[in-house]
Amino acid sequence: MRDRGARRGLELVSVGGAGEGLLAELGRPLDAVFGTRSFRGPPLPPREEWRDPDTGQLRSGDVVDALIARADALRADGSTLWTLAVTDADLCAPERSFVFGEATVGGCCAVVSLARLGAGPERLRARLLAEAVHELGHVAGLDHCDRGACVMVPCRTVVEGDRRGAALCARCRGLLG
């Protein structure tokens, strides 16, 4: 799935200024997993129309759609680029009262929310890394996995996420190429 001939760019973006310090720490471990070359992109300002009128949460699909439109403009030269956005806003999706993140499977963009990952700076960093690896795994074309310790196992609570950790299982690593 991963093109070993050229390193893919990984743009790390803050939505509304969230997670600026955390983004600086995220690039190196993500580059190690995905063989990317990460860099900081300009922040993405949140738009009011992304908010669910009933809950006030951001709709994750709207954020991803905005990232895709932004990436399409940046890729006009034909380069390959992934974008990972981080927001402190709580995210929701159709049929889900909240999500930790969302991605385009085999696409270019993902978003991760810090809103439900709290519990101290070290744990927040570890949880953010795990969610970023999970969502970028989808961007790389990986589906959900059924191996308990694989980061590609879906989770609905932070406790489930803590149990699965941030590492890909051998099968999923092999699928990355």
Catalytic residues: 135
For 30, 42, 43, 162, the CA distances from 39, given in Å and listed in that order, are: 11, 10, 12, 27
User: How far apart (Å, rounded) are the C-alpha atoms in residues 47 and 63?
Assistant: 9
Reduce the DSSP state of residue 137 to 3 states and report it: helix
Q: Which amino acid is at 144?
A: H
- For tokens 């990317």, name the residue: 36
DSSP annotation of 157 reads S
Total residues belonging to the chain: 177
